[in-house]
Homo-oligomer: A and B are copies of this chain.
Amino acid sequence: MVPQCDCATVHNLRVHARFHAPDAQVPGDLVLLPTEEAEHLTRVLRLKAGDSLRVFNGRGGEFDATVEQAGKSGVRVRLRSARQPAKEASVAITLAQAVLKGDKMDDVVRDAVMLGVAAIQPVVTERTEITRALLARGRRGDRWERIAISSAKQCGRATVPPILEPLEFPDLADALATLTLPQPALMFVEPDTGADASMLSEMDQSPQREATVIIGPEGGWASGEIERAASVCRMVTLGGRTLRADAMPVVALSALFTIWREF
């Protein structure tokens, strides 16, 4: 189940209602909303033909629009005019996150989108307790995509970051090894792993265009993974704290957005 609608404020201010309309392109267009969005519009917010709304296409386009038709055959909205979308972060961070247990990965997707990542790369590591086959069978990617859309709706982003196909850790490391850009890849490790890690505050803090942030599972990294990663990315730690695995992405992203002056 996708997280419940949490837009109590929006309910009181219908003019701010905001919907995902992936087909929205240019003002004047008549656009069909996806089924889930149409149901949110008719059943939860009870908007009707003639009501105003905002739509975003998930690729940076944001529009003022009007409900033209809201019935059993779906909801169609007319794009009135383009709006300035919320500013995206100037550093494009890909969060390479080891898949966490249960619904904790859902929260990570929701929060990473809210904070402004450019993409999410789920990773299956040695201590991840689920396989890529099970992720595919459970359609977890579809679920994470719905959560990403829902988070973008709430946080005001007009861009929905893609959820990439899950990778095994060695394949992620190989991919990082082929990067020729000056893109930093940072792997967060616990202080007691013996990895040659530096504190974030010791790191080069000059602005970046792109970065990959790699975060491990509940059981931490296996020593072979730390060895493999050492040749393709910088190892960083947040000092002596022991943080919960599911809190780590928000803390790490907040710290990096601070260092790269997004806040």
Task: Give A contacts to B, CB under 8 Å.
Answer: 6, 8-9, 86-87, 111, 114-116, 154-156, 199-201, 218-219, 238-244, 247, 250-251, 254-255, 257-259, 261-263
Contacts and interface: CB of A to CB of B under 8 A. Distances in A.
How many monomers of this chain does the complex have? 2
A156 B241 contact: yes
Contacts of A255: 254-255, 257-258, 263
B241 A115 contact: yes
B250 A201 contact: no
Nearest to A107: B247
Contacts of A254: 250-251, 254-255, 258
B263 A201 contact: yes
A250 B259 CA distance: 16
A244 B154 contact: yes
Contacts of A114: 241-244, 247
Nearest to A6: B244
A127 to B, nearest CB: 10
B240 A87 contact: yes
B250 A200 contact: no
A247 B156 contact: no
Contacts of A263: 199-201, 238-239, 255
A218 B10 CA distance: 12
Contacts of A9: 218-219
Nearest to A151: B244
24 contacts: A6-B244, A86-B241, A114-B242, A115-B241, A116-B241, A154-B242, A154-B244, A155-B241, A155-B244, A156-B242, A199-B263, A200-B258, A200-B263, A201-B261, A239-B262, A247-B250, A250-B251, A251-B254, A254-B254, A254-B255, A255-B255, A255-B258, A258-B258, A258-B259
Residue of A8, A86, A201, A263 with most partner-chain B CB within 10 A: A263
Please name the 8 residue pairs, one residue from A and one from B, whose CB atoms are nearest each other, closest first. Answer: A254-B254, A255-B258, A258-B258, A200-B263, A201-B261, A251-B254, A238-B263, A156-B242
Given A6-B244, A86-B240, A250-B250, 8 more contacts: A9-B218, A87-B239, A111-B247, A114-B241, A114-B244, A154-B244, A254-B258, A258-B259
